[in-house]
Structure formats: structure tokens, C-alpha cells
Amino acid sequence: MLWIVGALLLFIIQIAFVIFFEYQRPNKAMVWLIVLYIFPVIGFLLYLFVAKEYNRTPALSKKEIGHWNRLKAELMDRCRQRALTNLRGETIHQDDNLHALLGNIPVAPITACNETTVFAEGESAFEAMLGSIAASEHHIHVEFYILRDDRLGARFEQLLIRKAQEGVRVRLLYDGIGSRRLGKAYLKRLRDAGVETGCFFPLLASFFNRRLNYRNHRKIVVVDGKIGFFGGLNIGDEYLGEDPKFGYWRDTHFSIKGDAVLWLQYTFLTDWHLVTGQFIADPVYYPIQESRGKELVQIVKSGPDETILELIFSLVVSAKQRIFIETPYFILDPGVLLALKTAILRGVDVRIIIPGVPDKNLVYSATLSYVQELLRAGVRFFSYQKGFIHAKVIISDNLAFSGSANMDIRSLSNQFEINALFYDGEVVERLVQDFHRDLGVSEEILQSNFEKRSRFQKLKSVYARLLSPLF
């Protein structure tokens, strides 16, 4: 009898612990309480190791934070001075409230004098990256969530080794979980040649530091501080369409010149500092940009300590004509879900493209539960049929938002991401054209057909959505 009382007391303590730390996130708290109910002890241990709220501050001293704040202030002043003479007010006033929000994002300002190239698939993007790396003279900074030791990975490896041997400073960052299958031999060959490497939250250390749930999902290449690449592509043969399961791989990636490159560089070097402890602020890494482009671009880095939920919510609620979304994963925050329903009531054309072939079945089942709810509200969904769509794009009237972040809770709250806001002009129009091209190889998901799914499929979606705050 005594052990029953003890077990019950222990269970109550576990419940109280979760409620105390998750009361500000009721959806997440509810899921963890369900996990605790089903797996009383194992569930609590899982919560301790996975659900810890991210806190970056202890990793940085006050002196280090001061260094980064001063550098950021200097870069912001430089970019704003250049932007003042180039901002075209009529192109960014989609909504006065939205403009106020975008202009006051603390991470980075709206930058001017940019030239952007959009890539819709891997082959052309990787050739451009490799070409820029081959032409480098001073430094190469590379950061990816997934880095594989396959044919594409070997091309990057050989080129980075060659440039390091030529005297170019080469730094490589990879995520400990995303690149968990990367062999030690690959990294050793790079290090032996003089390439500096860093692992963002190594798998084992992340487990014991209770940071297993936080991943660096960014994809960044910066060459000589003058040209940058970012978007949805990782380094692996599947991103060239060579995985037989998915076939053609549709993605969105960018190369950019201009002041926006300074913020790709800043993001990489803050990540590098977090991983290695090295503070790099030499002006040679932040050169005066030579680009004379006319594009306005705002680089937005995000993570568990600086989410982009408010930004995406604002893009949705400010739209007057169209909201086009492409995403491989579609698991929404309640606020964004309500904003999309409200957009339909305002008469906004809302269309969303999701994969026809999933790469993660549980996530896809959760996605379908949101599809069902939004179909009833009037949102139009399309299932991509040509291969696998990995592009992450939001188009809101004359603004476009794209980069590494998926339209799911993990990307918007738990992962380190890098995106860009594009203001009007040719880049937005190109992304709109790509969206319509993707519509041409997609099948519309009709509510009448969707409701005919089997009872098992519907039930699976219900439980997947219930667990969705955890993945």
C-alpha cells in the first residue's frame, strides 16, 4: 500500500514540475502531460533531456556579449546609411504596421544595393557555390545542417582542402544531429589539410547538456565576405535528385551580393564563436560591398531565443491579395493557423503546396490534420507530384520570405534558421513564377476527396497532430 502512495506522489510531483515550467506553452504542456500519463517515469526523463528551454546567455560572458553588440551596432549603422539613399518607400509599405515591425526587427536592418540570384534546384546552386569557393582569395565560411560523405560531399571536401592548401582560411560548421552519420575520416582529412571545423551541439554532449531538441538548421556559404549563399539545400546527393525514393528534388536557394552578405557573415561568425569560443571581428571579414544592385533585402536569423513567429504572423495578417506558401512540413502555431483562416474571410487568395511524397510519415500525418481544417476554411492545397518539394517560401502580396525555415513549430521555435525578406522587384516575381510552375505539376487536394480517407488515416492524423508540439 505504501508503494502505491509513493508512486502516486511521484507522479503528482512530475505533473507539477511540467506544469510549472510549461505553463506559458499550454499546447506543449498538454502533450507532455499525456506522455507522462502513458509513460510515467520514462516520459519524465525524456522531458528532462529534451524539453529544456534554451538559454544561450550562460555560454557567453558579458564581455563577449558586449563585443557582439558593438559589432552589430556598427554594421547596422553602416547598412542604414546606405539604405537611406536607396529605400523606395512605396515598395515596402505593404502595410504601415507591418513596415513598422520589419523596420524594427532587432536582429538586422533592411539592406540596400543587393543583387540576388534564385536557384530552383540543386545542380545549378551547387555549381555556383563551388565556382565561388574555387575563386576565393581570403576566406571561405561553410555551414550546413546536413553534410554527407558522398559524391557531392567529396566535391566540397576536395575543393575546401585545395583552397586551404593555397592559403585561404577555411572554416566549416556542421550540426551534430543533422550530420550524425558523417564519418570521422572525412573530418580528419579536412583538418589535416588545414580546414578548421566545428560541430554545433554534438550528439552526445547535447544529450547530457539537455539540448538534444535544438538544432542548427542553417545553410550558409560566405566567400571573402562579398558573396553569400543560403536557402534550403544541404550537402548530399539526394539534393541533386539522386535518391531513388524521392527522385527529382525541388528546392529554393539563393546567392547574393551586397550589404545583406554582411549579415550572413555575422550569423556564421556568431555561430562559430558559440561553437569554438573564437571571437572574429576583423574588418577584413566585413568589407565594403561593391555591389551596385537595387534590391532591398533583410536577412533574418532566428532560433529558440529569437523566433520568427511574430514575423510570419504579420506577413499573413497584412496580406490583402495573395498568400502563397511552399513547405515540406506544415505544422502550425495556433496564431498563424487563425491568421490564415482570417485571411480567407478577408478575400485573400491563399494557396499552399506540400509534398505528394512524404519523407517523414509522422510529420506528414500531422500536416494532413491541418490541411483538413484549412480546407474547410477555404484554403486551397496542392500536392506536389514531380518529386519531393523541399522549398520554403512565403509570398505575401509584394513581399517574399524564404530561406531554411520550414512552416512548422520546430523551425519556428526550436531550430536555428536563416531566412531573408525580399521587397518587391524581380526576386519576388521570380519566386511567384516558380510557385505557379510548381502548381502546374501539382494536384489540387479537394475537400470531397480528402474526406474519403480511411478511418485509420484520419485517426493517425489526429494522434500525430496531438504529438506535433514535440517534433
For 206-225, give the DSSP string: HHHTT-TT--B---EEEETT
Catalytic-residue membership of 141: no
How many other C-beta atoms lie within 10 A of the C-beta of residue 282? 8
> Which candidate, 267, 223, 262, places its Cα nearest to that of 80?
262
In this prediction the pTM is 0.89
Q: How do the pLDDT tens digits run along the chain, 471 residues long?
A: 666 666 667 667 766 766 666 655 666 666 666 676 677 766 666 666 665 565 554 556 667 777 888 888 888 888 887 777 665 544 555 556 666 667 666 667 889 889 999 999 999 999 999 999 999 999 999 999 999 999 999 999 999 999 999 999 999 999 999 999 998 999 999 999 999 999 998 876 666 565 667 889 999 999 999 999 999 999 999 999 999 888 999 999 999 999 999 999 999 999 999 999 999 989 999 999 988 888 999 999 998 877 788 899 999 999 999 999 999 999 998 889 999 999 999 999 999 999 998 888 888 888 888 998 999 999 999 999 999 999 999 999 999 999 999 998 888 877 899 999 999 789 999 999 999 999 999 999 998 888 888 888 878 887 777 767 666
Report whether 182 contacts 149 (CB < 8 A): yes
Q: Where are the beta strands (DSSP E) in 93-155?
A: 111-121, 139-144
CA distance 131 to 147: 19
**Catalytic residue from among 397, 408, 424, 438:** 397
How many other C-beta atoms lie within 10 A of the C-beta of residue 208? 9
Q: Cβ contacts of residue 395 below 8 Å, gap of 6+? A: 322, 323, 324, 325, 401, 428, 431, 432, 435
**Catalytic residue from among 224, 251, 259, 438:** 224
Crossing angle of helices 309-318 and 96-103, in 10° steps, is 160
Catalytic-residue membership of 386: no
**Catalytic residue from among 253, 257, 392, 460:** 392
Residue 100, amino acid: A
User: What integer pLDDT is reported at residue 292 of this predicted model?
Assistant: 81
CA distance 289 to 454: 57
**Catalytic residue from among 139, 217, 273, 460:** 217
Crossing angle of helices 2-22 and 40-50, in 10° steps, is 30
Catalytic-residue membership of 392: yes
Rounded to 5°, the CA angle 248-253-255 comes to 140
Report whether 439 contacts 421 (CB < 8 A): no
Catalytic-residue membership of 294: no
Residue 67, amino acid: H
Query: If you search the block for the grid coordinates 570521422, which residue do you land on?
Result: 184
Catalytic-residue membership of 436: no
**Catalytic residue from among 28, 226, 273, 390:** 390
Catalytic-residue membership of 237: no
CA distance 257 to 269: 18
User: What integer pLDDT is reported at residue 90 of this predicted model?
Assistant: 42
**Catalytic residue from among 139, 219, 253, 460:** 219
